[in-house]
Each structure stands twice: as C-alpha cells, then as structure tokens.
Structure 1
Amino acid sequence: MKQKNFLVTIAIVLATLISGCAEDDFQETAGVCPLVIDTNPDNAATNVPLNQVITVTFNEEMDPSTINSSSFIVTGASTIAGTLTYSGVTATFTPSVNLTPNTTYVVRITTAVKDLRGNALQEDYLFSFSTGATLQPLVLTTSPTPNETGVVLNKIVSATFNMPMDPATINTSTFTLKQGTTTITGVVTYSGNTALFTPNANLTANTVYTATITTGAHNMAGVALASNYVWNFTTGAIVAPRVILTDPFNTETGVLLNKVVTATFDMAMDPLTITTSTFTLKQGTDVILGSVSYSGNMASFTPNNPLLANAIFTATITTGAKNVAGIAIANNYVWTFKTINSSNAPDLGSASPFGAFGGNAGITNQGINTVINGSIATTAASTLVTGFHDATAIYTETPLNVGNVTGAIATAPPMPGTATSFAIAQQALLDANAAYLSISPASMPGGIDPGAGELGGLTLAPGIYKSNSGTFNISNGNLTLDAQGDPNTVWIFQTAAGLTVGIAGPTGAKSVVLINGALPKNVFWYVGSTAIINGAGGGTMVGTIIANSGVTFSTAGNAVQTVLNGRALSLVSSVTMVNTTINVPQ
C-alpha cells in the first residue's frame, strides 16, 4: 500500500512538470516557465526621451493573444493609451502621444501573459523609469541671415538648430520658402543639425523672400519648436561673372610653345558651359585645336600641338560661358600673346606681375622709400608681409617702414589676405617653380663660366652662363649685357648656391648695364640658395632672380636707393629689402 502511494505521488509530479510550471515553491527555470529577460527602458532609467517606445523581451515565444492592454499596462499619473504589437519574443508598446516630462512611469506585465504551451508568468513583472525635462529645439542661425540683402540668386537656404532634429519632420511641409504668397518649389535635406532648402530654380533678382520653419519640426525626443520660425531676405541684382586673370597675360611675349592657356573667373562657373565653343584660341584666322577643362574657377585650353614660334595668338572666352546661376559674362573676353623667338626664354606664367615673391615665409621692408612698380605675393599669412601697402590695404607699416606697391598684394588669410589672393599666390609659386626648373642646368645644359664665378667687369653676349664653383659674384665692377641689336635675345645665369652683387663700403654697390637693345625681361638668374643684392645700398640690378632660399636687398640703415629692374622670386624663404625700388618688366 505504501509503495502504491509513492508511485502515485511520482506520477503527479511528473504530470505537473510536463504540463507547465508548479504553483508552489516556484523557481524560475529557463525553457520551463516564461520569464521577462530584458526591457527598454531599463528598470530605474532616467532622462528617458518623451517619444520612447517601450519594449519587453521574454525568454521564449509567447502567445500573442495574451499580450494586450489588460496584461501590458503602462501608468504614469494615469494609465497610458497606446498600441501593442508582438514579434519574435518581444512585445512593443507605442504610446499614443508623447510622454510627460519629469514623470515616473510604471510598466506592469501581469500573470495573464502566457507562452504557447499555456504556461503563465508566475508573478506580475514590474519596472519603472523617469522621463527628462523638456528640451525645446530652437533655430540658432540661418543663411541668409534675417533681413540680409544682396543674396545670390542660386542661394541654398539653411537653418541650424541647437540640437539634433528628427529628419522625418524636416521636409517641404515644415521648411517652406515663399515670395509673397507664391510657394517656391525645392528640395529639403537635413544633415548634422542643419536643414537645407534648395530651390528648383534660381531666385528672382531684387526680390523679398520669406522662409519658415514650422512647429511640425521636432527634435529626436518628439518635442516641437515652440512657434514657427520666420525670416525674410532680399536677393541682389544680377551679377555677371568676370575674367580676373589670364595666363599668359594680355600682350605677354616670350610665351613657351607648349603653353596651356588659362583664364580665372571671379566666381564659380558652370563647367558645362566651359568648352571648345566658349574658350577658343586662334593664330590669325586659323583655329588652334585643343581640349578645354575647368577646375576651381579656372578654365584651361591645352593645344593639341606646340604653338608656332614668334607668332601672335588670340584667346577668347565668349558670352556662352556662364556661372552656376546661369548668368553669362557680359561681353566676350579677348586677349593676345606672342610666343618665344628664342628657345632659351622661360615662361613665368602667373608669376610675371610680381616684383617680389616671398615663398611661404613673407616679405619685409625697412625704410620709407621702397616702391614696387608691380605686385608682390607670398603663400604665407598676410601678417608676414610687413612694411607695405597697396591701394586697398596696409600690411604692418610703421612710420619708419613704408613700402608702396602700385599693383596688388596677394597673401594667405587672415584679412586683408583672402582665399582668392591665396589661390593667386599659390598658382604664382607653382609657375615660378616651373620657370626655375626650366632654366636649371638640367633643363639648359652647356653654360660657360667666363670669369670663374666673377661677372664684374665683363661684357657678355646673350647665352647661358653657369658658375663652376656654385656661386656668382658681381664685385670687380659692373656687368654689361650686349644684345648686339636683337631685343629678343636672352641671358640665363645659373648658380647652384649663392649670388652676391656688390661689396662692403659706401661705394661698394655694383650694377648690371644693358646695351644695344638688351631688355630686363630677357635676363634670368637661377640661384640655388640665396641672392644678396648690394648690401651696402645703391646700384641697379637687372633681370628676374629666381632663388630657392630668399633674396635680400641692401641692409638696415641704408638710405641710398637700391634698384632692381626685374623680379625677386624666392621659392621658399622671404624677400627682404631696405629702401628698394623694383620695376617689373613689361
């Protein structure tokens, strides 16, 4: 009898285990009883977003019919209405409206929730969380700014918020642009904290527009702007693009036969309008065949074949060239240049207008009588140009250091340096370096050294001259250059190290003298390191000096004027001068 009762007891226990979870002495056992294993938000979470979707994850697949508003209950100050869904092992509750700020919510999953075998939770599962304070989104900045005038016609209108926004709420319904009552069509995008409205067509000139960000724009917590943000701006007049720089420049001579002809505009152009139809090159009436490209405000014409020597060419940018706003240049832009008559003549390109170029280190003047009849430039910051002014700006002048630049000064920012002037300086440095290499011994071999490095007292015909010792001096007298009646002839002087003109003492200045048609524009100095020109002050130097490591004129305290009829182009270091006149050759 006792054995029979024991067997019955075993059978009852087994049946209970097979059918579900025992009610008494309950122990949660994964795979036997349903359990809540994860929640979002976590229990006791704080600063929960107001648009939080609540999820509960179970240890096994549940019966969806048991997950409803009676078994999944969210309460704050009262029971929260929402939508319940179930997928996989996760139940999801989406509140019908945003939660309330600074409020504690309790989520209860009751024992009415069962798994597919009918096993129920053994006890209600509760967890709580708290929402954070309301963070109101604001529009911090706009472009154009409120009441801005002169806005370009192809403007992309933008608004930047103080926090990330819900991208789904940033659209053409919440970000609008109107002209009066007329809605402007466009595309709205969102990136970072900034919304962008791109009109489908250019805006109208001299017109007031109204942009609006509505309260339909929400942050990531679902909080809307407190009120519509509205601002106005006015477009400017139609501004036609202009050609501001060409290479070669107008009437330039001595242009190399493999020259790529370029034109730089004052604004971005539509690349589709920069073609062989709008950028042409002719020699007389003959059309020069070539290819046209456009990059960074610059159009380039590359001839298919070398140009004819000693010939005049005409380049034209037609009114078919338009900016990105679809506005054409006002008139055809036409310029001419002449190719070299001597194969020795280098092409300075965009470095031609500069009387001094201070590499990436700047240009310094001391004295009150320095005059640059031309332009100066450096790829360094504007603060490294000292003692100069042009027609528009002053660069660190003092009453004792005044240098007049009749052309322009091109530097990197800060102001008065700009991105445009920096780009001009960068291109000039590239062209100066190319010219430097083109007159190097590697490019022009065969130079002679008639004075064993001493050029003073010599009279030299056109040709290539190279210092065997690596330095050139003009100290034993003046150097005379005789063109022998041909104004197109060229002199190239090559020194692997330094060039020194003049000696110490009040009468130590030396000069370069030109006779029989010789011209400063046809004299070139290749200097591997540094050029020092008349340290005692005075004298007249001639030619374009391209030095790797700097050029120095005179020394501090000299009042007598030192003259250069040419250019002082340093590729790396600075150019310094004291009471110096530089006349850029034409």
Structure 2
Amino acid sequence: MKQKNFLVTIAIVLATLITGCAKDDFQETAGLCPVVVTTNPTDAAVNVPLNQVITVTFNEEMNPSTINSSSFIVNGNATITGTLTYSGVTATFTPTVNLTTNTTYSVRITTAVKDLRGNALQEDYIFTFSTGATLQPLVIATNPTRNETGVVLNIVVGATFNMPMDAATINTTTFTLKEGTNTITGIVTYSGNEAFFTPNVNLTANTVYTATITTGAENTANVPLGTDYTWNFTTGTIVAPTVILTDPANNASGVALNKVVTATFDMAMDPLTISATTFTLKQGANTVVGTVSYSGNMASFTPANPLLENAVFTATITTGAKNPAGDSIATDYVWTFSTINSSISPNLGSAAQFGAFGGNAGITNQGLNTVINGSIATTAASTLVTGFHDATAIYTETPLNVGRVTGAIFTAPPMPGTATSFAIATQALSDANAAYLSISPASMPGGTDPGAGELGGLTLAPGVYKSASGTFNISNGNLTLDAQGDPNAVWVFQTASGLTVGIAGPTGAKSVVLINGALPKNVFWYVGSTATINGAGGGTMVGTIIANSGVTISTAGNAAQTVLNGRALSLVASVTMVNTTINVPQ
C-alpha cells in the first residue's frame, strides 16, 4: 500500500511539472486542477422551468474575472444572453428572458476559467438540459360570473386560476375594474389560486362593470396569460333596509330607567355595521355610554348605567348601518322617548281612600280578625258586601265573619247603601279604571322582566317591570324594593294575566320588603286578570293592586294574619279576604 501511494504521489508531481496542475478526485491541494462538481440543472435534466437560473459549482474558489460570457456560454437555438455573477465557489447565469419551451440547451464552461492560482480547467465542461411544454395559466372561474346581473354593491370581484400564480404580478396594474372608461379604485390581493379586487367604495346600482386580468399576470414559472381575460357584470337595484319598529316607540313616555333600547329592521343586516358608531343614544348633547349588539333583525343598545329619570333621550341609527349587500338605510333614523318621573305616582283620584274595591261584584270577608284601615266600596248592591261593619252599619256579619272598617262602606242600595254612596262608588270605579290604564304597558312601555316572571329573591330599583310571560310570581323568596334613599321612588309592575304571591303550605307566605326610604304608596301592580295574595295565609304584601278580574287575600280556614300595606282594587270582580289587615297608604 505504501508503495502504491508513493507511485501516485510521483505521478501527481510529474503531472504538475508538465501541466501546472493535476486532477485528484479525492482531495483538493495546492497545484490540483479546478473542476466542476455540480450544476443546476443537472446534466440531461428534462422539463426544466422556463425561468430557470443556471448555476455551476466548482471544487475551489475561482478567479471571478475569468468567468464571463466568453467562458460561460449557454446555447439553445442560439446563444442565450444573460447576467453572470460569481460568489463563493458558484457561478450563476440568469437569462435575460425566459427560456423557450421544448428546447434543448447546452452549457459550456471553457478552459479559460481559472482558479486563484491561475490553474485552468483541463478541458471544456459541457452539460445539457431540456425545457418542457408551456403550462400557460388560465382564468377558470370568476365572481361575479360573466354577464351576471343583480350583483350586490359591496361585491369583492374575484378570479380563480388553474395554477399558482406569482403574487407579485397580481396587482392593480394587472387586475382592473372599470365602469365604462372610469377606473374603479381598490385593493388587489392574492391567496391560493385566487385574485381579489376589493373596491374602495360600494359600486353603483344598475351599472355595467368590466373586470380585466392582463397578460402581465404570470405563474410562478413567469409564464403569462395568453391573452387579457375580460368579463362584464351588472349591479342590482338598491334595496335599502328600513327600521320598522323601535322599543321604546317614538315619543313614548314613562320609559323605565333600565330600558334596553332596540330597533328592528325589515331585513337582515350586516352585523359588522351595527355598532356604537351607527347606533347611538343621547340625552341632550350628552352621549349615553352603552354596548350595541345585533341578533336576528334586531339591534339593541344596552346603557352601561340606568337612564336619568324624567329626561328626554334621542336614539339614532345612522346610514352606516347596512344590509349584507352593502345597502345603507336611506337616511338616519331618529326617535325620542322620555323616562319615568319616579317622583310622581299614578293618580288614583277618589279611589285613593279605599283599601278594597269590589268592582260591581262585592267584597267578602271570612274571619274574625279582618281590619280595613280605610274605606271599602263596590258598585254592587249592599247585600254583596258580607262580613263587614263600619261606624254606622253592619253588612251581613256572622259570628265567624267579622271585619272592621275604620273608614266607611260605599255600595248601591238597598240600605244601608244609598244613591249617594253608590255615586261615590261609581266615581271611585271610574278613577280606579283611569289609574289602571295609566300604569298599563301602553302608557308605561319598556318594562323589563329581570327574573323571567319570578320576582321572589330579587332586589329591584325603582322602575317599570313587565312580565314577558304574562304572569308575575313571588314564590322563591321575598321581593325587596330599594328606593336608594329617594322617598319618592316609584315601582310599577305589569302583568297581562295573573299575580300570585306565596306558595302552598304553612310556611308558604312571601312578603314584599321596602328598604332605603321606599314607601307603600309608591308601589303599583297592574294585573290583567286576577291577583292571589298568600293563599296559605300570613306574609306582608305591599302596594296598590289594580286587578281587572278580582283579588283574593288568604283563603278560608287560615288563622295567620295576612297584611296588605296598600290597596286591593278590582274593576269587574269581587275582592275576598280571610283574617286580613289592609293599611291604606297616606
């Protein structure tokens, strides 16, 4: 082995003396010949891209001045021009124009190429490669489609190619949109195989537009479209959305302080256009802080804090609110409403003196411990008042049914009812009915339902509360009313059907508790049907109950005293009670 290595070394030395360098396939040492070790494309490569950059890598650092158009020659059907650069051990040739399809190219690196010691290639290095057929990009789909009509005004125009494109060639020069000769300004983007033109503003209704992708659009091999791709489309008619309903309604009064303001449109809207910018609420010049949401066709403005009482508010939906097609409402939609004045209670008129009013059906007491600290009345005959007496007369009392009225009893004849007492009762019924209407949802809109019909366990600030289901219950605990230090604070509860306080059983009674200055005279219950107060007996109810179809307080056989600090006024049916104390507010 030593003898063989010695002979190889002697051969290299002799070659160096004769030629100036020697070839060694295994190592690079001073005096060895430069050689080409790799090329790109490789020798005999096929289907080479037309934008191919040709590189040649040597086994050592070369003299850049020897690498030029005379020593690095590319031939196809003719000599190819291009730019030569050299870095490290690699020479790079970039053709001036793309290569030609289906063409065989040869690259010759001549012996004029030398290394830094002046050693030259020992023979010309030649390699060949072939390009493939042209894969020309095509537009295969557009949005809108060619000649499409009724196109929405906020359309993003798109074109899909049959292959990946060079994103740098997809721009506002190669992708244009025109209306006649007028160029539409916009932003061009590219993703996947799709190009998008987004106009800066919505297009015009009932107008023909022309979109064009020019031959400047190229694929990643720098192959352009064969011809400009052009298509037309026509926009549709503007269908402006409209606000068809607001809550509160325009010019509504007595609106609750915790009101969520809503506007309902006649069509679906673009949620992104329903915001604190397009839906505002002001009290005078002051902007109300709140959050805006959108669901279904309804936009909602939820104030961050309760509204000011006895104040006028202005709500506005601006033309920035748009449907999904980009159509705006025609003009700003503006409406006003005023909030409840919590220092003014509903006017009961002559009905204010009555602790119980039995419509035209009478009043019944069962028990020995019923006391009405006030007056009672009915437009029915005196015989329909049973179990009561006042200072002047007894109305069908029995040893088991005795009820004391500290005020007076007013009925129709016969005696002790008189024409005069009937006239007083008739006027009181009229005033009670007027008060009933004044606290109705029609007169005081915007009531909320914080407990979904269940008031038990809640603590409520002054305001208007309306049952969404049509009934209110106080069954999960007591209801607490917090005046927050305002003795004039008013609560109005509205239920289209029934009101039920308490549950069955000896411990089922529930109460209304007043705190921080709340007063019974400022609590009102609008009941569309009947009110049942602590049917199991006991508990303390608060407020003026005005029910259309009757009030029942406790039930027969209950000894526990039930207290109503307020009034039980029925418009058309009777009021019945068992061992009940009613304290008429002053």
TM-superposed CA distance for 1:239, in Å, is 3.7
Q: Tell me whether 1:486 sits opposite 2:526 in the alignment.
A: yes
Change (3 A) 1:259 1:46: farther
Residue pairs, 1:488-503, within 5 angstroms: none
Question: Which amino acid is the alignment partner of residue 172 of structure 2?
Answer: T
Give the match for residue 206 of structure 1.
206
Task: Describe the shift of the 1:236–1:460 C-alpha distance in structure 2 as closer, same or farther (beyond 3 A).
Answer: closer
- Could you report, residue by residue, the CA deviation over 1:94-136 in whole angstroms, capped at 9, with x for unpaired residues? 2233223333433332332212221223343343333233212
Aligned to 1:317: 316
User: Residue in 1 aligned with 2:281?
Assistant: 280
Q: Aligned pair in 2 of structure 1 residues 315, 37: CA closer, same or farther (>3 Å)? A: farther
Question: Whole-Å Cα distance in 1 between the matches of residues 90 and 136 of structure 2?
Answer: 32
Please tell me the residue identity of whatever aligns with 2:288: G
1:141: which partner in 2? Answer: 141
State the partner residue of 2:539.
Answer: none
For the residues of structure 1 that align with 2:103 and 2:88, how far apart are their CA atoms? 30
Q: Does 1:463 align with 2:513?
A: no
Q: Which residue of 1 aligns with 2:70?
A: 70
Match of 1:48 in 2: 48
Aligned residue for 2:203, secondary structure, equals coil
Q: Distance in 2 between matches of 1:108 and 1:467?
A: 108
The one-letter code sitting in structure 2 at the alignment partner of 1:182 is N
- Describe the SS at the equivalent of 1:280: strand
How many residues are paired up? 372
1:224 is matched with 224
Question: Which is worse superposed, 144-153 or 249-258?
Answer: 249-258
User: Against the structure 1 CA distance between its residues 485 and 294, is the aligned structure 2 distance closer, same or farther, given a 3 Å change threshold?
Assistant: closer
Partner of 1:543: none
- Contact kept in structure 2, 1:136 and 1:226, CA below 8 Å: yes
Relative to 1, partners in 2 of residues 1:463 and 1:172: Cα closer, same or farther, differing over 3 Å?
same
> What is residue 83 of structure 1 aligned with on the other side?
83
Change (3 A) 1:292 1:154: farther
For the 8 Å contact 2:270–2:321, the answer to whether it is kept is no
Aligned AA for 2:28?
Answer: A
Q: Tell me the amino acid that sits aligned with residue 315 of structure 2.
A: T
Normalised TM-score (structure 2): 0.50
Tell me what 2:190 maps to.
Answer: 190
- Would the aligned equivalents of 2:308 and 2:339 in 1 still touch at CA under 8 Å? no
Could you say what secondary structure the match of 2:168 adopts? Answer: helix
The alignment status of 1:58 with 2:98, answered yes or no, reads no
For 1:30, give the aligned amino acid: E
Shift of 1:176: 1.9
Taking structure 1 as reference, are residues 174 and 486 closer, same or farther at Cα in structure 2, changes over 3 Å only?
Answer: closer
- Say if 1:182 and 1:29 are closer, same or farther in 2 by CA, change over 3 A: same
Contact 2:292 2:301 in 1 (8 A): no
**8 A contact 1:290–1:302 mirrored in 2:** no
Change (3 A) 1:290 1:37: farther
Inter-partner Cα distance in structure 2 for 1:75 and 1:292? 74
1:93 corresponding residue in structure 2: 93
1:238 aligns with 2:273: no
Contact 1:248–1:262 (CA under 8 A) maintained in structure 2: yes
- Matched residues in 2 for 1:147 and 1:200: separation? 22
C-alpha separation in 2, matches of 1:188 and 1:134: 27
Match for 1:291 among 257, 264, 289? Answer: 289
Correspondence for 2:345: none
Q: How far 1:147 sits from its partner (Å)?
A: 1.3
Query: Contact between 1:175 and 1:188, CA under 8 Å: does it hold in 2?
Result: yes
Q: How does 1:298-313 map to 2 (within 5 A)?
A: 300-307=300-307
Residues 46, 132 of structure 1: 8 Å contact kept: yes
Q: Is the 8 A contact 2:455 2:475 kept in 1?
A: no
Note closer, same or farther for the CA distance 1:463–1:334 as it changes in structure 2 (3 Å cut). farther
Give 1:143 shift: 1.8
SS in 1 for 2:69: coil
The one-letter amino acid paired with 1:463 is V
- Going from structure 1 to structure 2, the CA distance change for 1:327 and 1:486 (only over 3 Å counts) comes to closer
Q: CA deviation at 1:231?
A: 0.7
Q: 1:447 aligns with which of 475, 497, 508?
A: 475
Quote how far apart the aligned CAs of 1:224 are.
1.8
Does residue 268 of structure 1 match 2:267? no
Residues 145 and 250 of structure 1, relative CA distance in 2, 3 Å threshold: farther
Separation in 1, partners of 2:453, 2:286: 25
The equivalent of 1:22 in structure 2 is 21
Q: Deviations over 1:255-286 (max 9, x none)?
A: 9854543446633378698538x62256xxx7
SS at match of 1:168: helix
Q: Which residue of 2 aligns with 1:540?
A: none
- Cα–Cα, structure 1 residues 59 and 336, in superposed 2: closer, same or farther, change >3 Å? farther
Correspondences of 1:306-345 after superposition (within 5 Å): 306-307=306-307, 316-319=315-318, 321-323=320-322, 327-330=328-331, 332=333, 334=335
RMSD, aligned CA:
5.2
Deviations 1:55-106 (A, max 9, x none): 2233433222211223222234444332222233322112233223333433
Alpha carbons of structure 1 residues 251 and 328: separation in structure 2 relative to 1, 3 Å:
closer
Secondary structure of the 2:65 match is: helix
Structure 2: distance between partners of 1:147 and 1:95: 42
Looking at structure 1, the residues matched to 261 and 273 of structure 2 have their Cα atoms a distance apart, in angstroms, of 17
Percent of pairs with identical residues: 58
**1:279 partner letter:** T
Stretch deviating more after TM superposition (128-137 or 235-244): 235-244
Unaligned stretches of 5+ residues in structure 2: 1-8, 343-448, 460-472, 478-496, 507-523, 533-545, 551-586
CA 1:490 to 1:320, structure 2 compared with 1: closer, same or farther past 3 Å?
farther
Distance 1:289 1:171, change over 3 A: closer
- How has the CA–CA distance of structure 1 residues 516 and 68 changed in structure 2, closer, same or farther, with 3 Å as cutoff? same
Tell me the alpha carbon deviations over residues 412-436 of structure 1, each in whole angstroms, 9 at most, x when there is no partner. xxxxxxxxxxxxxxxxxxxxxx978
CA distance in 2: counterparts of 1:267 and 1:333, whole angstroms: 18
Structure 2 residue identity aligned to 1:216: G
Residue type at the aligned position of 1:112:
A
Unaligned runs of 5+ in 1: 1-8, 342-433, 450-458, 469-483, 493-514, 520-586
In structure 2, C-alpha distance between the alignment counterparts of 1:466 and 1:121, rounded to whole Å = 111
- For residue 65 of structure 1, give the secondary structure of its aligned residue in structure 2: helix
Contact 1:107 1:127 in 2 (8 A): yes
Classify 1:29/1:200 alpha carbon distance in 2 versus 1 (closer, same or farther; 3 Å): same
Structure 1 segment 102-117 matched on structure 2, within 5 A: 102-117=102-117
CA contact (8 A) 1:101 1:133 kept: yes
Is 1:181 the counterpart of 2:219? The answer is no
Give a deviation string over 1:326-383, Cα, whole Å, max 9, x none.
8444452548798999xxxxxxxxxxxxxxxxxxxxxxxxxxxxxxxxxxxxxxxxxx
Of residues 97-106 and 158-167 in structure 1, the stretch that sits farther from structure 2 once superposed is 97-106
When Rg is computed on C-alpha atoms for both structures, the one with the higher figure is 2
The offset of 1:232, in angstroms, is 0.8
Structure 2 CA distance for aligned equivalents of residues 516 and 438 of structure 1? 17
Q: Residue 178 and residue 321 in structure 1: after superposition, are their counterparts in 2 closer, same or farther (change >3 A)?
A: closer
Deviations 1:140-199 (A, max 9, x none): 221222112233334332211111111232223322222222333333332222222233
Shift of 1:312: 10
